[in-house]
Structure 1
Amino acid sequence: MLLKLVSICVAFATLAAIASAGEGKWKKEDNLVILTEDDFDKAVKNFKQMLVMFHAPWCGICRGFMKDYKKAAEILKEEGSKIVLATVNGDIEKGLTKRFNLPGFPIVKFYRNGNPINYTGGRGAKNVVKWLKKQTSNPEIRVMLFTKVLLSLCAITVISLPVTHGHADEYNYEKGVVQLDESNYYKAIKRDFKKLMVFFYSPRCSICRGFMKEFQAAAAKIKPAKEGDQIEFASLNADRAKTLLRALRFPGIPVLRFYRDGFAHPYSGGRTADDIIDWLHKSADKPSKELRRI
């Protein structure tokens, strides 16, 4: 029994070493990590749970929210939380502003294991903390808690373990198209589908209704370029997802976007099913640097 425990400890120690590798010194101010273009990607990789505020000194809303943000960081530190709060000065780090195509400030995103979602909580330090705890209290986190207990027996500490991926068969399909809503949108584009074409529409929009037929036809006709490399099609009723649409800052409807591994690529093809398929065959495997991280 002791030998088995030692073996388990060694295995988890290896995982802990991998997770903590590359941890360096970070510039900090008022319990916030100050990120730059040079260390942003490293931070996303190293900090498994990180909230990032993109701001500008001239932005009044940013200055007001920054006070709450600093207070939230202080609360989390006092509680011994592993969640990191970070900031990016968009005026200085113009490369990041351009890279993420930020429409304005402030923009707040939560990164967990490298996967970002938009902050949808309220203002005030307590609301920030409450929202973060909600994001990190799902069943997947229980695996990490179990790991922490096990490793405490071995006298070592773990930072985090990767979350498990979801399953595409959990979704509803209509005419070969995945039906998305506010509850499963981010899960779909970041976890469950490697390549996903999403059509944001409104039933009241005549252009949307006409294009939907072509979209469904493309979903039925498209063939994978190689085995196991299928592109899935999804639609989302914007009338029932107004909070999400505000977060995505779309100028109007319809909108068509292609998502691959957490990157977004706006559609720029024609209106027929064949146009959609041709565009996907040309764009689906573009280098990640030509896409936009979301």
Structure 2
Amino acid sequence: MTMRVSVVLSVLLLIQFWPGEAEKFSVDGKVLILDDSNFDSAIASFDHILVDFYAPWCGHCKRLAPELDAAAPVLATLNKPIVIAKVDADKHTSLAKKYDVEYVSVAIPLYDLLKLFLFLNN
């Protein structure tokens, strides 16, 4: 499947579950791309969102990316859908700092790079 088809399918999947919200965000594969300008909006827009704080140079992050891409459509179809998003922690250091994402060493896998944000809309 080409990247263009994959992106189109991802956007269609997001629109199905969150009409009016998907067009606010860029998509990489099936994962939303967040940054300083749209992070708060994404957190407020979705009841359940899993955010991957990654570094482009990180081997562990590179290996996790296709797994998140595969999980995104599955999690979007749950009774309580979960959106998967990612933030480049090297570029957006203020977000990484705000959510206590730290790099100890490239040799030590970090398990705090994924943050789950759960909100209940009344």
Do they fold alike, i.e. is TM over 0.5?
Answer: yes
Q: Which residue of 1 aligns with 2:118?
A: 112
Q: CA deviation at 1:41?
A: 1.0
Deviations 1:132-173 (A, max 9, x none): xxxxxxxxxxxxxxxxxxxxxxxxxxxx634xxxxxxxxxxx
Instruction: Map Cα deviations across residues 153-208 of structure 1 (whole Å, 9 max, x no partner).
Output: xxxxxxx634xxxxxxxxxxxxxxxxxxxxxxxxxxxxxxxxxxxxxxxxxxxxxx
- Partner in structure 2 of residue 38 of structure 1: 37
Query: What's the % identity of the aligned pairs?
Result: 31
Q: Give 2:121's match in structure 1, choosing from 145, 161, 172.
A: 161
1:64 is matched with: 63
The whole-number CA distance in structure 2 between the counterparts of 1:161 and 1:25 is 19
TM-score, normalised relative to structure 1: 0.30
Shift of 1:109: 1.1
1:93 Cα deviation (Å)? 0.9
What SS does the corresponding residue of 2:24 show, helix, strand or coil?
coil
Alpha-carbon deviation of 1:94? 1.5
SS at match of 2:121: coil
- Aligned runs of 1:59-208 on 2, under 5 Å? 59-77=58-76, 79=77, 82-104=81-103, 107-113=113-119, 161-162=121-122
- The alpha-carbon deviation at position 97 of structure 1 amounts to 1.7
Scaled by the length of structure 2, the TM-score of the pair is 0.66
Give the structure with higher Rg (CA): 1
**CA shift at 1:98, angstroms?**
2.4
User: Aligned partner of 1:38: which letter?
Assistant: S
- Equivalences, count: 95
Pairwise CA distance, 1:25? 1.6
Q: Which moved more, 1:94-103 or 1:66-75?
A: 94-103
Q: Which runs of 4+ in 1 moved over 3 A?
A: none
Matched, 1:54 2:60: no
Deviation at residue 42 of structure 1 after TM alignment: 1.2
Unaligned stretches of 5+ residues in structure 1: 1-19, 114-159, 163-294
Q: Whole-Å Cα distance in 2 between the matches of residues 109 and 26 of structure 1?
A: 18
Equivalent-residue separation in structure 2 for 1:53 and 1:111 (angstroms):
11
* Structure 1 residue 50, shift from structure 2 partner: 0.4
CA RMSD of aligned residues (A): 2.3
